[in-house]
Each structure stands twice: as C-alpha cells, then as structure tokens.
Amino acid sequence: MPLIGYARVSTEDQTPLPQVQALTMAGCAKIHEEQASGGDRARPVLARVLEQIRKGDTLVVVRIDRLARSLSHLLEVIERLEARGAFFRSIEDPIDTASPQGKFTLQVLGAAAEFERALIRERTKAGLASARSAGRVGGNPGLRARDPAALRKVRLARHEGYMDRLSGTAQDWVPLVRRLRPDMAWEDVLRLVNAPLPPSRQWTQARLLRATRAYVRDGFLPETVLERAKHQPGDDRLPALVAAIRGADPDITLQAICDRLEAMRERTPRGRTTWQPSSVRMVLGRAVRLGML
C-alpha cells in the first residue's frame, strides 16, 4: 500500500522540512510539497496528487490543517479519495480511513459538520426574525439602491464562490476536457466523466459546459475546448472512447474497461450490452492502429 505524503506551508518564510521529515518517518516514499495559504483555492500540487493517486494508495499529511481549508473541505477531499479506492491518514490526528477506528472518527466529523451547518442556519433564521420584529430591513443598502459598485462586488463574490466549489471537483473533469475536446463530442466526454463517479457526484451536460466556460474565461483551459466537435467517422467513435479511458488511467485492466463501458451503457461492436476483455482488446488494437494510443 504506497504512502504518498503531502506537505503545505503558507509563506516563503516557512520551511516544509519538519513536515517532510515526519512524512518520511511515517514511511512515505514520495512527498509532494506546496506553498499556499490555508484559504487559497488554487492548490495545483494537491489537485495533481488527487488526480494521479491510485487505488490502494494512502495520502498522508502531518495534520489535517495542512490539507483542508475547513471540515467540509476535508470531508470532500476524503470522499474523492474513497471514490478512487484510496485512503487518507493524518499523523497527528486520529484519522486513518483504512482502519475501522479512523472510519468511525470520520463519521463523527461528518456528523459534526452537519450539526455546525444546522446551527448556522438556525442562528441566521433567528437573527433575521429578530431584525424584522425590530423594524429593520435586511440586505445590503447598496444592493437595494442598485448601486453598480455593490452589484459588481456581489457578482465577483459569487464567481469566486463558484470557482472555489469547482476547484474541489476539477480532477474529475478538467483532465478529460483538456485532452478530449474538441476532438470528441460533449455527450461522449460527459459519459467518460460520469462513468467512475458515484451518482451523487455526476454531472449534467449543461453544468459541465458552464464549468468549462468558467475555466476558459479564467485561463485554466484553452479556448479551443469550446470549439465545435470535429466530425468523427462512426467506426472511430468506439476506439476513441476506449482510448480515452486507457489514456486517463494507463494501468487500468481490460476488465475494468469492460466495467466502465457497461456503466456508460456503451454497446459492443456486435451490439451487446455485456463486454468481455477480448472485445476490449480488439477495440484497443484498432485505437492503436488509428493512432489514438
């Protein structure tokens, strides 16, 4: 079970050396270092680690505050690791999702996060009710007056919040969109994105397009991904799909590709709903001959 370390420091004045030493002593053969503040959503090193982590790997940190901005963010990261068959361990906290005790701790944290959200909702409702009873009108005066500067601030805050939420899911869709568009139609890209995801995290085409446009607008994806899809001969579509699956995970087995294609409801070349490794091998061979792999 490979142990992958992640060390983060906030400023140039800090050194990751103590974290690196602790991770090395914990048995981490590979350690990724990043400099970013705790509230910074742009963590390219962490995003790359989550994108590359394999089934059976364990992501290790010294403390949970080195990984997550908040409890909800921590639970979100762990959920993504579990979706890939990976585990999480914090050296100085009682969290190890590979152990029953660690899973129990995680459940307690999840309950605490939900309780915290419920308290915030209740306090907000009580505060609004108290303000109304005192004759005070809630809201931003600038917004009520339709002040352009206030409206710009709201739009910017909404965009920042949206991009922050997108950064938590980027590893699910950005690599595929970057690699497959515009050579592949959005319908097929969407199916490839959704195939390994649990139902609660699956995308709609409209949501995927909106996210892509936002990333293009902010310079995280090239404008070419939004171009019209290139025409693809009918015989080349299936090899392109299988090549995309293999390209996203070079170590994936033939049986795992079968499972992925069945989850996508993709039929075999003979029109059957059940895939066999031999059929996948044949399609992969065609993809190689077409220069897709």
* Cβ atoms of residues 75 and 113 within 8 Å: yes
* Residue 120 CA: distances (Å) to CA of 115, 139, 269, 274: 9, 18, 54, 49
Residues with catalytic function: 10
The per-residue pLDDT string of the chain (293 residues; one tens digit each, 9 = 90 and over) reads 689 999 998 866 578 889 999 999 999 989 999 887 766 656 788 888 988 899 999 999 998 888 876 777 788 888 889 888 999 998 987 788 888 777 777 777 666 656 666 677 777 777 767 766 776 655 555 545 566 775 677 677 777 778 888 887 888 899 889 988 998 889 889 988 888 888 788 899 999 999 999 999 888 899 999 998 877 666 788 888 888 888 888 888 999 999 989 888 888 988 888 999 999 999 998 888 878 77
Fold for the domain defined by 3-101: Rossmann fold (3.40.50)
Q: How many angstroms separate the most distant Cα atoms in the chain?
A: 75
Phi, psi of 90 (to 5 degrees): -115, 125
Residues 6+ apart with CB under 8 A from 74: 64, 67, 68, 109
3-state secondary structure of 137: coil
Cis amide linkage into residue 182, ω under 30° from 0: yes
Distance CA 241, CA 245 (A): 6
Give the H or E element holding residue 95.
strand 95-96
Residue position matching structure tokens 């490839």: 192
Domain ranges for the chain, please list them. 3-101, 142-168, 170-289
Q: Is 31 helix (H, G, I), strand (E, B) or coil?
A: strand
